[in-house]
Amino acid sequence: MKKRPLEIVVLSDIHLGTVGCNAIELLQYLNSIDPKMIILNGDFVDIWNFRKYYWPESHMMILRTLLTMMTNGTDIYYLTGNHDEVLRKISSLQLGPLFIRDKMVLELNGEKVWIFHGDIFDITMKHSKWIAKLGGKGYDILILINKLINYFLLKVGREKVSLSKRIKDSVKKAVRFIDDFETTAMELAIDQGYDYVICGHIHQPKIRGYENEKGSVIYMNSGDWIENLTSLEYDGEQWNMYKYQELDFTPSQRIEHLIRKNKIQSEVYIR
C-alpha cells in the first residue's frame, strides 16, 4: 500500500474519548499518509468529557498508529487546547519524537508560520469555563441525537443533516464569533510579523488571506474530526486543505478491511 509523502500534517479537535469522534475514518487517513511531522493542534483527547467506560478500540488504535509513525521517524507535536488543558502543566516536555507545547513557530521556505489552538480568543474560556464545559457535554449529547435522526432519515431515503452544525452556525453568525476569532488571530499574527497563522478550536476548516495597513497574512484552520473530517497538509511547497472522502481510499484502506484486520467493534467499551 503506497502512502502519500508529506512534510507536515496539522490535525485538530479530534476529541478522542467522545462518541462524536470519527476514529475509524481518521485511521484510514493516517494509514494513507507518510508525513515527516504531525501537529496535533489541541483537543486531541477530550479530557473534559472523558469517561473510563467509553474508550473504543478504534480510539486506542489511533494512539497505536501514531506511536508506530513515531517509531518510523515521524515527529509529533502535541499542542494543548482547552479540552486537554491539563497538559499545559507539562508543555515543555519532550519524549523522543513527541513534543508537548502550547504553541510553535515554523520557518518554511523563508516564511514564518505561527501555530496554536486558539482558545485564548474565546471569552467563554477566559471568564466562564463552566459554561464552556457544559456546552461540551451538550454537544456530545446532540451528536448522539443527530446520529439517531440520520439513521431514520437514511432508512426513508432522505439526506443526512447536521443539527449541531446548524445550531453552531446560526448562533455564531449572530454573535460574529467566527469572524471575530479569525480577525483577531490574523491581526495579531501581522503585528508579530508572521506570514501564516494556523488555529483549530472553532471546528471551521478554512484557508484565507487577510490584509490591513500593517501587512498581510494567510490564516488557516484545520477544522475537526467530529463533523468536517479535515486536515491541513504541507507538501514542501504549499499548504492544502484535505477533506476526507470514503471513495478516496482503496479497498485495503477502507473501514471494512480495518475492522477485519484489527477486529474493531465500534461498541466495545473498557470498564
Chain segment 76-94, per-residue pLDDT in tens: 999 999 888 888 889 889 9
Does the residue 109 lie in any domain?
Answer: yes
How would residue 270 be classed by pLDDT, with cut points 50, 70 and 90?
very low
Give the domain CATH number at 195. Answer: 3.60.21.10
Q: Quick one: average pLDDT of 185-191? A: 92
Q: Are 22 and 53 within 8 A, CB to CB?
A: no
Does the residue 270 lie in any domain?
Answer: no
Chain segment 138-172, per-residue pLDDT in tens: 545 555 666 778 778 878 888 776 665 665 565 54
Does the residue 153 lie in any domain?
Answer: yes
Does the residue 271 lie in any domain?
Answer: no
Specify burial of residue 184 (Cβ count, 10 A radius: 0-12, 13-18, 19+).
middle
Q: What is the pLDDT of residue 162?
A: 65
In sequence order, what DSSP letters do the residues of 57-78 get, joined into one string?
HHHHHHHHHHHHHHHTT-EEEE
Please name which of 175, 176, 226 lies closest in space to residue 205, comparing C-alpha atoms: 226
Q: Based on the structure, what is the number of domains in the chain? A: 1
Q: What is the pLDDT of residue 242?
A: 98
Residue 98 has pLDDT above 90, yes or no: yes
How would residue 247 be classed by pLDDT, with cut points 50, 70 and 90?
confident
Cα–Cα distance for residue pair 259/33, rounded to 1 Å: 19
For the chain, percent of residues with pLDDT exceeding 70: 76
Q: Distances from the Cα of 179 to the Cαs of 41, 111, 173, 210, 217, in angstroms?
A: 20, 25, 8, 12, 15
Q: What is the pLDDT of residue 264?
A: 45
Question: What is the model's pTM?
Answer: 0.78
Please name which of 11, 13, 85, 10 lies closest in space to residue 47, comparing C-alpha atoms: 85
Chain segment 123-133, per-residue pLDDT in tens: 544 444 444 44
Question: Who has greater pLDDT, 120 or 138?
Answer: 120
What is the extent of the structural domain holding 254?
Answer: 4-262
